[in-house]
């Protein structure tokens, strides 16, 4: 596949790995922030954007969840990337030399047990691949980066310790974003639909709004709430369900949802990644 896909981070980031896994052949474009990924995609400077939304160990990426409803983009795919955390040091560095390990605030809790067991102090970096680049530039054997093997290759570092994550199933879910929706696909596997909604200010509105999914046999795999505009009384919900909006049971569930909501927006319709299970 040709074209360009943007991701947050520097070359060698796990988002870079997600791009090469989900869209091999596309030119990757690193961005400093998630907002930059959205803006490049929205403006047409790139064809697609790759956004990390949740990690099986750390939980949701809050910045992205709050950004999605106002991004003006559409989810066209999901990708689950097995996140192997590696301790990267300068050439010749040994594990007993390393005193500090630098990584993103999301990755540090994912290998806290290993760092504690080896007396290594975790230091926050804005990006894992940037940490790898800076460790390579400093040339200090007491400093290491927590990053991918791809980052080790790019920046010429040694993998001092491989796969040090505390959880054996450590996985990050990414969403592929596009300017245009694609609701035409009907693969052999499951389809996913992601949407946001706000309930009307009436008693038991959320219970009533969700009742249609239960009565119509629609499996909801995610439901999260967010405050809107800093108000404790205005709440927006983000949800993932199995199914396509044109499926009879999903259509009926959405009809009931709309009756009890003041806002409803479909963010994307896309095939379920086989790794979802």
The whole-angstrom separation of Cα 82 and Cα 172 is 7
Between CA 31 and CA 10 the distance in angstroms is: 7
CA distance 44 to 260: 36
Q: Which of 34, 174, 195, 254 is catalytic?
A: 174
Name the residue among 221, 110, 113 with its Cα closest to residue 170: 110
From the candidates 41, 172, 194, 196, which is the catalytic residue? 172
Burial-class residue 13 by CB neighbours within 10 Å (0-12, 13-18, 19+): buried
Gap between the Cα atoms of 267 and 99, Å rounded: 44
Instruction: Look up 174 and say whether it is catalytic.
Output: yes
Q: Are strands 143-147 and 100-103 parallel, antiparallel or unpaired?
A: parallel
| Residue 197 annotated among the catalytic residues of the structure | no
Q: For residues 65 and 226, is the Cβ–Cβ distance under 8 A?
A: yes
Q: Give the residue from 238, 255, 240 showing the smallest Cα distance to 194.
A: 240
Rounded CA-CA distance 99/142 in Å is: 5
Report how far residue 110's alpha carbon sits from residue 191's, in angstroms, rounded to the nearest whole number.
30
CA 147 to chain centre: 16
**Structure tokens of 206?**
């959320």
Is residue 47 classed as helix, strand or coil in its secondary structure? coil
Which sequence positions are flagged as catalytic? 172, 174
């Amino acid at each position: 596949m040709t074209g360009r896909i943007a991701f947050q981070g520097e070359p060698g980031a796990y988002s870079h790995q997600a791009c090469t896994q989900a869209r091999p052949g596309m030119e990757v474009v690193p961005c400093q922030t998630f907002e930059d990924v959205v803006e490049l995609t929205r403006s047409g400077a790139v064809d697609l954007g790759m956004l990390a939304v949740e990690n099986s160990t750390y939980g949701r990426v809050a910045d992205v969840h709050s950004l999605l409803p106002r991004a003006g983009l559409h989810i066209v795919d999901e990708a689950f990337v097995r996140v192997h955390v590696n301790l990267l040091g300068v050439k010749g560095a040994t594990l007993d030399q390393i005193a500090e390990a630098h990584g993103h605030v999301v990755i540090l809790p994912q290998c806290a047990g290993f760092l504690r067991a080896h007396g290594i102090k975790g230091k926050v970096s804005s990006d894992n691949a940037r940490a790898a680049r800076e460790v390579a530039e400093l040339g200090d054997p007491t400093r290491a980066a927590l990053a991918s093997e791809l980052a080790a290759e790019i920046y010429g570092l040694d993998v001092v310790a491989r796969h040090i994550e505390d959880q054996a199933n450590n996985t990050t879910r990414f969403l592929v974003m596009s300017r245009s929706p694609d609701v035409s696909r009907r693969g052999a596997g499951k389809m996913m639909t992601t949407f946001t909604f706000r309930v009307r200010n009436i008693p038991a509105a959320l219970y009533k709004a969700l009742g249609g999914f239960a009565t119509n046999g629609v499996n909801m795999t995610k439901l999260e709430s967010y405050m809107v505009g800093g108000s404790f009384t205005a709440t927006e919900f983000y949800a993932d369900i199995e199914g396509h909006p044109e499926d009879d049971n999903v259509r009926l569930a959405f009809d009931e949802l709309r009756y009890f909501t003041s806002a409803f927006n479909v963010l994307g319709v896309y095939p379920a990644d086989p790794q979802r299970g």
